[in-house]
Amino acid sequence: MEPKRDYYEVLEVPRDADAKTIKRAFLKKARTLHPDVNDAPDAEERFKEVNEAYTVLSDDQKRANYDRYGDPNGPAGFGSDYVDVSDIFGGGGFGFGDIFDSFFGGMGGRGSGGQAQRTRGRDMGIRLTVTLEEAAAGCTKTVAYTRLAPCEDCGGSGAAEGGQLRTCERCHGTGRVVEVQRTIFGQMQTQGPCPACNGQGQVIDHPCETCGGQGRTPSREKVEVEVPAGVHSGQTLTIEGKGEAGLRGDACGSLVVSVEVAESERFERQGDDLYCTVTVDALQAIVGTTVTVDGILEGERVTVRVPAGCQFGQRVVVEGCGMPRMGMVARGSLVAVVQIETPRDLTASQLDAVSAIVSARGGEGTAEKDLEPEGFSAAAENAAEHFAHERWHAPKNPFKGDRR
């Protein structure tokens, strides 16, 4: 067995050094030799040596015995009063955490909260697009995504058969290590999660081979998402436990599904109201008519009552036929924006009848007798042009703006 080095040599202090000097020397060495910050293969041995030297030289009686007999326990001593490193970390009077706290600006992990890194799985976000019809009726959608899921081979524990959790040797269970770098400004210390245990403070002695001890593996998952009727774009649905799995069986995060409602060809949604166009011919607009349109729900037929004298772009509101209001029985309105087309297929006698009305109202109103083969009349053509003109000047989207 190699003879012990002299304690004063170990700490590099003179034999008459006072307690303050000894302590300072110890801390200085401990800071560079601590297994957390020093990767050298002999770092731990040297740290133990420094620790032992300090344990003796910081105790007046032991120091006196050592000075006089070369043994801290006096002439009849048996071996050294060696204190194991782990015992020191175990606390009691002179806890190492305290030293590092004061040494590194009070950022030590021990007792200062945040002892180990968070191990709960993170929340995950996913986007789901539904049609307006699906949003109206509500639907169940299956979404597929990849997440870190609990490991199937170890049930999420991270341990192989017979494996056990034990305190991480690198960080001694604190989950944090101190990095010391030499820079032109001197030594810089930064704290970070312990790489050996991922900041957990514990490692598994026989880790599961599938997940490497994490208790989770990448996995393609499918989950059913219940989309409520009346959902709006941008709303989120949270599914607990379907996000990233936690480390070694800790809780999974949530899956946050962000719903996107696709635009519809037939309807434009404004809040819970649905806007659509209905087209009637000019004569129907004059006398009023009823138009039936397909509603947003499957098989739904909505009756739109176009009033007599209806104008181009007029809005006819059918209450209770819009989108369902989320979580309620009530529905918004269906708003039919009336488009007017001039009929071009009137027979000669029908045209005469209209002309008679027009002349009775004081206009020219004489149906041209030399009708084109298609039956176009100058009057009808003018009217068609007029409406085309109207359309041209109508807002690009007749749904926008206030209702009625």
Neighbours of 3 (CB within 10 A): 5
- Please count the residues of this chain forming the interface with Zn ion, following the rule CB under 5 A: 12
Q: Which is nearer to Zn ion, 25 or 178 (CB)?
A: 178
Report the site for Zn ion in 273-332 (rule: CB under 5 A): none
Residue 197 lies near Zn ion (rule: CB under 5 A): yes
Tell me the window of 5-13, 117-125, 188-196, 278-286 that interacts with Zn ion (CB under 5 A): 188-196
Tell me the window of 103-111, 131-139, 166-174, 361-369 that interacts with Zn ion (CB under 5 A): 166-174
What DSSP letter does each residue of 334-398 carry, written as one string?
A: EEEEEEEE------HHHHHHHHHHHHHTTS--PPPSS--TT---HHHHHHHHHHHHHHHHS-SST
Tell me the window of 154-162, 223-231, 296-304, 388-396 that interacts with Zn ion (CB under 5 A): 154-162
Q: How far apart are CA 108 and CA 94, in angstroms?
A: 15
Q: Which is nearer to Zn ion, 72 or 108 (CB)?
A: 108
Smallest separation (angstroms) from Zn ion to the CB of 101 = 18
Cα of 269 vs its chain's centroid, Å: 28
Residue 151 lies near Zn ion (rule: CB under 5 A): yes
Which three-class secondary structure state does DSSP give residue 137? Answer: helix
Q: Which is nearer to Zn ion, 194 or 280 (CB)?
A: 194
Q: How far apart are CA 28 and CA 17, in angstroms?
A: 15
Residue 149 lies near Zn ion (rule: CB under 5 A): no
Which of 136, 194, 274, 316 is the binder for Zn ion (CB under 5 A)?
194
Contact 34, 47 (CB under 8 A): yes
Residue 223 lies near Zn ion (rule: CB under 5 A): no
Smallest separation (angstroms) from Zn ion to the CB of 174 = 7
* 315-318 and 186-193 strand pairing: unpaired
Q: Which is nearer to Zn ion, 197 or 380 (CB)?
A: 197
Residue 153 lies near Zn ion (rule: CB under 5 A): yes
Q: How far apart are CA 22 and CA 393, in angstroms?
A: 93
Handedness of CA 136, 141, 143, 149 (dihedral sign): positive
Smallest separation (angstroms) from Zn ion to the CB of 89 = 12
Q: Which residues bind Zn ion (CB under 5 A)?
A: 151, 153-154, 168, 170-171, 194, 196-197, 208, 210-211
